[in-house]
Amino acid sequence: MLQVPKQLIGEMITHALLTDPEECCGLVLGKGDRATATRRITNSHENRVSRYTMDPVEVMKVEREADARGEGLLAIYHSHTYTQGYPSETDIRSAIETGWLDPYYILVSLVEKTRPVVRAYRISEDGQVKETYIRAD
């Protein structure tokens, strides 16, 4: 189970709505399975409406910040502006190719703009996707 304070869920939803119709992306810091902070990352992909690429310099800066705080990279989040909150084939392939399989993947779906849906997953090295329950507190 992934523990994410309601405030952080709100921050991810706000980020997604502010960048809509483009996808947003960011990182979630934490300890164990408990989220403590979100960090917005610039989406540098040329087609931001349907893809995301996190700015690598910003990612390194946030990783250093997490280390200094005694925390780790708990999750990678991004939005799906026109589709449900489930990892796409591109999302799965990217996770495998980058080797980022330890973090959770949190997706914010804006299919219904007035009722965003936030879901979390783990992606394995063989491309299996398993949903993880988010406990909002």
Query: Residue 44 belongs to what domain range?
Result: 2-136
Name the band, by pLDDT with cuts 50, 70 and 90, for residue 95: very high
The pLDDT score that the predictor gives to residue 137 is 87
For residue 76, the domain's CATH number is: 3.40.140.10
pTM for this entry: 0.95
| Residue pointed to by tokens 């879901």 | 119
d(CA 125, CA 135): 25
Query: What's the burial of 100, exposed, middle or buried (CB within 10 Å: 0-12/13-18/19+)?
Result: middle
| pLDDT, average across residues 100-116 | 95
Rounded to an integer, the average pLDDT of 89-99 is: 93
Strand ranges, E, within 6-133: 25-31, 34-41, 72-80, 104-109, 117-123, 129-132
**Cα–Cα distance measured from residue 50 to residue 58, given in angstroms and rounded to the nearest whole number:** 21
Domains: count for the chain: 1
Euclidean distance between CA atoms 93 and 6, whole angstroms = 30
How would residue 63 be classed by pLDDT, with cut points 50, 70 and 90?
Answer: very high
- Smallest Cα–Cα separation from 29: which of 80, 69, 57, 58? 69
Average pLDDT, the chain: 95
Report pLDDT digits (tens) over 12-54. Answer: 999 999 999 999 999 999 999 999 999 999 999 999 998 999 9
